[in-house]
Chain A
């Protein structure tokens, strides 16, 4: 009779609901404060103070929901997977734009809605839960007073509060306790329903294998982590590294192996762990498909890594060039200028034509050396490009070109440094080649925006017949352009004329 009431289970569930409610009281209060701070921050974001407030409040909101989710997983057995972290945001733009970027995050809006409704929901549920608790407490208190004949209450209703009445009241505390358990047991169901509908993330976008697994396992939150053996990490479908869930987090994972080697892990609801044969069977059945997907994920991860490392190399090289240019300018060039000045002083002091002629000769050679040094510094990294941008830098390049050339640069805005240097060096290298080999009458340089690309065009009317593989200069250019996702096309027929065309994606 008692066993069929399943009292243990009910009391345990009631206790869990109580614990979850207790944790949710501070969460509800802090959540309301955070939402108020967020709204204030958004309203004040025209002033300087708004943005930090907004960022802080958004972080607080996320943290609270994370705590709430963990509590729901721990106490309500909801197995809710983590809500995706906020996408990384660029630090560019004014405070308004950044505030808008933060506020337009749909994940954050869900979190804010959740936190804004929480105080009311929790207040109502706590109120409902308190009624039987207070009744039971009063009954026990009065019962003890009656039995022990202590305390200040003389009568309970028509009866004087003696031992008999006390015993009756204590006996009535038992049904009150049943009501307490029943109320919190019911609250468990209510809280689970609310938590499941509000906290669970929308199903992540994913490949066909995931869909198939989700369907066959009956767990829509299934995710696949692909194992990359050479880097010993798990990555998701897009190749981003991910962490496997810790035990006790409400999520569990099952390894997928193929021919004895680890291929992937299926991340799933911890409740499925009890039927791990099912997961194992699903894993075995899908291991080939998963291995294929793994290779794709591996490839994507490698490509992403390669891009980043190439960009790093070019940026490091540019940085080194800039430093050498600065050192030349501040060191050797200043020294030589000082020597030239002293020579001029010396010339006014010496007598005798021979000596004067000697000093003049020295001064002339010093001038040439200085000029060569400047040219060298410019070739390493043009200070003008860093300071004034593409237009002036290419203009100066054309002016100094030995071959007659003219430039038309219609890009006024500043672009990221790697793109600017790539465009600059394309023009510099092309003009050098024109002067050295082309025997051209004239060369035309054109730099403009073409759709969502930066177009750099250098054309001459020289002899043509350029071999791309021959010089290290052109290959260097290709590497440099590749680092910024650019392409280089050289059109150089043997019957004359060379056309060099570089295209670089316009930065978003």
Chain B
């Protein structure tokens, strides 16, 4: 299968397999630091949690999904998102990807033994090796029971996957209805309108400032002109006073 690496194992129905072979009912061992996606250390849901159709009950699945997400640290909360940092989001991305890979690894682990067991079982059924005389053949009975167990594990992994998908959808819906996120949207809208109004005011203020600067330049020019006139009139007064003094001296003489 494309999503599973090619099978390199040779399965054996004997619990003490020949050298180089693998017993097909060997349980999956989760890598260090991870847990199986099936409860009870990978053995799957107990009989009381599974109905006659093989479906896991909602309560048992919810409880296990919570435990699984918590153990895998792959459940971002709204408070994580409010951390004002990309770290929780990046952590979630890494952890959720690891969880998916672990689930896929476990599924693939049971996939090939199930294929082996199912083929063996059907071959036995088709060749009539199901009974020895009047009694059922014990090897066939064991093979059938083990095939059911493998099938159940694969089905339970599928149900865990489906529950995780629902969980993600629920998380997204939760984000949408979170009041803090809605407040944030409102805050952004408010900040945007404030920026617009202040930008407009700033432009108006700049225009007013330009006009005032031009008026100052105009008054400076006027002062300069008046200063020149004062100088001219001051000089003319001095000349007039000199003339008056000259005439006064002339009148005296």
Same complex origin of A and B = no
